[in-house]
Homo-oligomer: A and B are copies of this chain.
């Protein structure tokens, strides 16, 4: 069965861990704002994929200025965000009508590969909810009562995006109230009773949150160019 595929890019972060005045999704790497790199990753996967872009209301004008400045003319469907990531995704999902699959992805993960995007749609077509994840490279400890104890890291996975879902499944899941422990789309779907399938993301699929992440992402982009 063929499913219509959508992308929903969430770019809400204010970059409070950054020293930049610019919102982190607008910081330029290699001549282009981070967010445009992220969108281009999805257009590389499928040039005609419908993309919903959720931005804070007060950044939509900036975005439109940047599109003119960088000559970025893609048929992106803009949607104003809410006060939280939950509200922003919920708003964005309302822009999607009809059946299909939607890949929900962080605006500041520009290094997502075509292979990961493809895997996310394939896995969600089969299982309903498919999440990119990677094993831990480091040991892990759990904090408790001022102390901590070692865990077996092979039982854990770090979670990335895309988090890709059957559209009806994730739209219905977002009808529940917003609880503080629902920190990503997978936890929203899980809390609504849906099993979550994990597939392999990649260590390069970095979520830009700190200054050094910008340096790292630029270095990885430079490496990819000759290929």
Contacts and interface: CB of A to CB of B under 8 A. Distances in A.
A159 B147 contact: no
A204 interface: yes
> What is the interface residue range for chain A against chain B?
35 or more
A152 interface: yes
B156 A143 contact: yes
Contacts of A142: 155-156
A136 interface: yes
Nearest to A147: B195
Contact of A139 (B159, B220, B223): B159
Contacts of A152: 181
Interface in A115-147: 131, 133, 136-144, 147
Interface stretch (A8-16, A46-54, A69-77, A184-192): A184-192
In the complex, the count of this chain's copies comes to: 2
A208 to B, nearest CB: 10
Interface in A172-227: 181, 183-184, 186-187, 190, 195-196, 198, 203-204, 207, 209-210, 212, 215-216, 218-220, 223
A5 to B, nearest CB: 24
A2 interface: no
A219 B210 contact: no
A141 B196 CA distance: 10
A156 B184 contact: no
B198 A203 contact: no
Contacts of A159: 138-141
Nearest to A219: B219
7 contacts: A138-B160, A139-B159, A150-B184, A150-B187, A153-B183, A212-B223, A218-B219
What 10 A-B pairs have minimum CB-CB distances, sorted nearest first? A219-B219, A139-B159, A150-B187, A138-B158, A216-B216, A139-B184, A215-B223, A215-B219, A141-B157, A143-B155
